[in-house]
């Protein structure tokens, strides 16, 4: 009987095993205020987008940012989920500034991917041989503060918001696009689990008949 139970459990595990896939979405244009971050204005710019076609839970999230113009060291940005401010990750925090003061880096834009698996934090990118094309920083970097792993396990379908603020006067930055990429693990439907159990029982019945 023990081996039959193992067969049932194995069948159920195979049928109900979670399937993970890498999903990507990218938003461009049609942004509020044309994607312009108000200069020296703490009200900032919030861009909210809704994902409806990702089914499952999030892991290994990364964020793409394509911003142009302005002064990089002025910008503070964070990503948050479904209106819950406690579930957030700081992406940019006045890159290049010391802990208490300073103007930060004077480059004029980002075309980057922010990922926990990157080698260096974007906060000190000039110290790590960056590629800068026309004043725009390129490449893959760690987010400035707070890892993106805070979003692991959340339902992928939901409302994702990017908040950006220009904290000092001088230069205007525009959001050209931003996007998300994540491994999304599907959750087996209850009907799938039930079929797995019935399949296991069928196997048990066949084995018992052969005895």
Domains along the sequence of the chain with CATH: 20-189 (2.60.120.260)
**Strand 109-115 relative to strand 136-141, pairing:** parallel
Neighbours of 26 (CB within 10 A): 12
Mean pLDDT, contiguous 10-residue spans, the chain (211 residues): 43 53 94 95 96 95 98 97 82 89 89 98 97 98 94 95 94 97 82 45 46 52
| Gap between the terminal Cα atoms of the chain | 12
pLDDT the model gives residue 83: 72
- Res 73: pLDDT: 96
**Can you give the pLDDT at residue 5?**
41
Which of these, 51, 23, 24, lies nearest to 185 by C-alpha position?
23
Question: How far is it, in rounded angstroms, from Cα 32 to Cα 47?
Answer: 7
Structure tokens at 16: 């109900």
Q: 185-205: string of b/e by CB count within 10 Å (b at 16+)?
A: bbeeeeeeeebbbebbeeebe
Coil, helix or strand for 70?
coil
63 token code pair: 């964020």
């Amino acid at each position: 009987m023990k081996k039959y139970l193992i067969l049932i459990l194995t069948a159920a595990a195979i049928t109900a095993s979670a399937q993970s896939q890498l999903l990507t979405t990218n938003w461009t244009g049609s942004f509020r205020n044309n994607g312009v971050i108000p200069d020296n204005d703490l009200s900032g710019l919030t861009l909210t987008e809704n994902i409806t076609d990702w089914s499952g839970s999030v892991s290994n999230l990364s964020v793409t940012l394509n911003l142009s113009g302005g002064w990089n060291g002025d910008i503070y940005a964070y990503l948050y989920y479904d209106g819950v401010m406690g579930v957030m990750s700081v992406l940019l925090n006045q890159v290049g500034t010391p802990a208490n003061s300073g103007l930060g880096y004077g480059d004029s834009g980002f075309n980057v991917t922010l990922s926990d698996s990157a080698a260096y934090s974007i906060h000190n990118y000039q110290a790590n041989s960056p590629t800068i094309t026309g004043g725009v920083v390129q490449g893959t970097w760690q987010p400035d503060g707070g890892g993106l792993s805070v979003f692991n396990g959340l339902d992928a379908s939901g409302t994702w918001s990017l908040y950006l603020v220009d904290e000092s006067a001088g230069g205007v930055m525009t959001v050209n696009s931003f996007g998300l990429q994540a491994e999304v693990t599907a959750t087996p439907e209850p009907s799938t689990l039930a079929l797995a159990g019935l399949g296991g029982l069928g196997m048990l019945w066949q084995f018992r008949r052969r005895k």
